[in-house]
Amino acid sequence: MNPRLPGSGSPISFVMRYLLSATRAVSILAVVAVGASSTVAAAKDVSGVVKPKVTILAPKEVKGKISIVQYPVPARYATPYGVAIDSKNRVWCTLMSGNSLAVLDPATNEFKEYRIPSTEGLPDSDWKYDTKDRTVPKKAYNVFSVGSPGSIIVAKNGDIWFVMLLGNSVVRFNPTTEEFTEIILPTTNAQPYDLAEDSAGRIWFIEKNTSKIGYLDPATKKITEIPISPGSNMMGIAVDPSGQVWVSEVNGNYIGRYDPKSRKFRPFVIPTLLAQPGKIIFDGDSKLWFCAPHSRQIGVFYTNGADRNPHFGMVDVPGYNAAPQALAPAKDGKIWYIDSMMNMIGFFDQGKATWSSFEIPSHGAQPMGIAVDLKGDIWFTESDRGVNQISRVLSSSVPAQAVSDVNEHVGSSHSH
């Protein structure tokens, strides 16, 4: 399919106009008050000060249509997953299989690994697995009880927050004191999956296994859980400047908004069937972008004026088997993405409605997290067991004109 550029006007506006009728045709689900059944609990916590393992990395630059610098993670098979940038331009990431938090200083190539206190005693990530005798570590544990750090953010005060998918917790790390505070969720096996901070410093998160969202007050360590809709499967969460909490929901195929003041929840159904929205993130213009891996697209929702006139736009991602995994908006308006199936990284230029997509040098890298640093460089994790590294796209090497490693049309916004 070779979609054409619209003849005039903003390409994104063209998509908005095209989908407007479809959006109106879908009966937006009723606004539902959900706060009445919320629960508040003082959560248990596991705390500890951890001294890091420090390594000076030897990065490797791979030059092609763009330049990508690769930083191998010292702990083998550690599975780097989430990534976030702090105010000092340091790169923080979670090591899912290594049950660790790590930070890289690009100025010195110093890499610090902090083992999460509650996972002490578990097998290290570098244990060998023999496919013939299938030997596993002697130590065993319940996989639904501990470990597996995932999505990560840097709070406004500099604290690092991340979720523990199997540990059923939200974790704070203080970079100054090197102290972890792991706060266990009151609901068993809730599987916190993504998180975001609001303007008051509260940490919001989704519970993938319970159809709930929740928030944590860092001062009191109290957690409030809010049921949304039975059978929902939420994937992403973001908070806008006004304090509205937004989520993406796979089963209902919608972007939802929760108002903490009114305690009301409103879903906005995505016009593209079975888009299955994943990670969500706001750009500088308060547009909410989301991954739609099932329809091989990224989407955008105009949150401003959504109650009066909701607008969605969907943009086809290059590649016959595209599966956008995560997004990161840059200051220049470009929307960077990683594709875990096509093994690509690239960006969508909103102004020109064009794609630039580049093959990741490592074969089968399985990129999972992406972030833009203070200098405009793009960082992403390569989680494959054999690849096991963090990589950086040098923004100075990115071509001004659209270019792609995908053997198909590099082009416009498109809609279904």
Weakly modelled stretches of the chain, pLDDT under 70: 1-37, 42-43, 127-131, 134-145, 407-416
The pLDDT tens digits for 197-209 are 999 999 999 999 9
Q: How confident is the model at residue 137, as a pLDDT?
A: 63
Say what the pTM is.
0.88
Q: What is the pLDDT of residue 120?
A: 85
Go through the domains of the chain in sequence order and give each one's CATH number.
11-397 (2.130.10.10)
Q: Is the Cα dihedral 331, 334, 338, 343 positive or negative?
A: negative
Looking at residue 123, what is its pLDDT? 73
Which tens digits make up the pLDDT trace of 309-338? 899 999 999 999 999 999 999 999 999 999
pLDDT score of 130: 65
